[in-house]
Amino acid sequence: MKHRPRPPEQDDLLRPRLVGLIDMRHELVKLASLIDWEFFETEWSGFFPSSTGRPATSSRLVAGLLYLQHAFRLSDEAVVARWVENPYYQHFTGEVFFQHHAPIDPTSLTRWRKRIGEEGVEWLLTKTIEAGRASGAVAERSLEQVAVDTTVMEKAIAHPTDSRLLERARAQLVDLAREAGVELRQSYARLAPRLAAQIGRYAHAKQFKRMRKALRTLRGYTGRVLRDLRRQLDEVPAGRLRERVIDKLVLVSRLLHQTPRSTGKIYSLHEPEVDCISKGKARVRYEFGCKVSIATTLAEGFVVGMRALPGNPYDGHTLVEALEQVEILTDCRPRLAVVDRGYRGHRVESTQVLISGTRRGLTPALAKALRRRSAIEPEIGHMKTDGRLARCGLKGTLGNDIFAILCGCGHNLRKILDHLRAWLAQIIAAILDLSRAMLGLQHGYATA
């Protein structure tokens, strides 16, 4: 597949242009003029080295759809459907005439995300920072002072319970055996689902002794199916199916041998990399997903760095990488970083780091900056409620990396759009005041 930029539109006198249908003062129109779209045309072309096959979709179209998706909290299907009916969305992605059909299939966004990877979406975040500078939503001096914090981005998985995981593992092994043509001695298709439901009833009634006994029985069912399929592994033909069977056997074997105190536990069969993270919240004791590091400016709360952290590392060990990412994306090394007490022992030397609770030896300016540290908390809340940070639907650790950065892009775009709306409202109010003053002056001359 080769990459080809969008061909220039031919003049068509019979078709109305989008610029004649929309209000050119709209914030999305202003935002589209602030983003350097040609950068994606040149940089993303390296992800399509092949010179044969169907040309790739326009880079501006895909970049615009990804921006709109995370700015307005839309799924892949919803952003494509809304693009068809919204002329401002079409203008934002570079269309000249109003289109009545979807530009791409929603699954194309998945393929693009895999193709551009984490590096490609970091360029998307960089361009939002440049647009924020150009619009005045973030000041140049604000990039020198940042607040850094971590949060949990939950994964799109069901709440893990032993009974559900064991029953799901048994069902998947039976399906693989049927697909491979292997005849099992017994599949427990009738007993196992019934027993898994009964375990839930025992847990609800707090009959834990009966629950544990039934859980041992269900574990035995899954183990028997596992060993039966393993004995007949030679009958599975070599190829992709055999690799899938082997991978599933290894995964289910880990599930059967894990204990409550095991490290690297499996909480989901389709997402085995999910971590169990406890942040000390009263409402949610445990969250299942991945830790995300967020760096924002102290003054505006503008995202200047965002990265997924697999493996639930200690916060203090992630500060060096977070500040390096900020320097790469903004071309400016932060002079001051304010963090909470979870970052003690950070080992950062090139940037002054203030930790919550520090009181001695601070100038009034540093004390004021430290009091602003908690301003990052509502920004994280907005990213989860107004954005899509609350639940990641992309697969694997690469999906976590891409999704976290795109959530930061959406947050920055909402900041810029709010700034443009306020700026337009001030201009309109000034024009109205001037017109009222002119009318009053004319009225005074007429009465005189």
- Locus of tokens 């299907």: 77
Bridge partners (DSSP) listed for residue 293: 150, 307
> What pLDDT, on the 0 to 100 scale, is given for residue 2?
55
C-beta of residue 38 within 8 angstroms of C-beta of residue 31:
no
Strand-pair partners of 298: none
Domains defined for the chain, CATH in brackets: 18-135+413-425 (no CATH), 140-157+275-393 (3.30.420), 162-257 (no CATH)
Asked whether 287 and 150 are in contact (CB, 8 A), the reply is no
Q: Are 415 and 132 in contact (CB under 8 A)?
A: yes
Output the pLDDT for position 1: 46
Residue 388: which of 376, 404, 401 has the closest Cα? 404
Contacts of 213 (CB under 8 A, 6+ apart): none
Tokens of 358: 């520090």
At 262 the pLDDT is 86
The answer to whether 351 touches 333, Cβ cutoff 8 Å, is yes
Question: What's residue 416's pLDDT?
Answer: 95
Q: What is the DSSP letter of 234?
A: G
- Report the relative pairing of strands 352-355 and 336-339 from DSSP bridges: parallel
Mean pLDDT in order along the chain per 10 residues (448 residues)? 53 76 91 93 79 79 95 95 94 92 93 92 95 92 94 93 95 95 94 96 96 96 96 91 95 93 90 90 88 95 95 92 94 92 89 86 89 93 94 93 96 94 74 70 60
| Integer-rounded Cα radius of gyration of the chain | 28
* Neighbour-count burial of 11, counting CB atoms closer than 10 A to its CB (0-12 exposed, 13-18 middle, 19+ buried): exposed
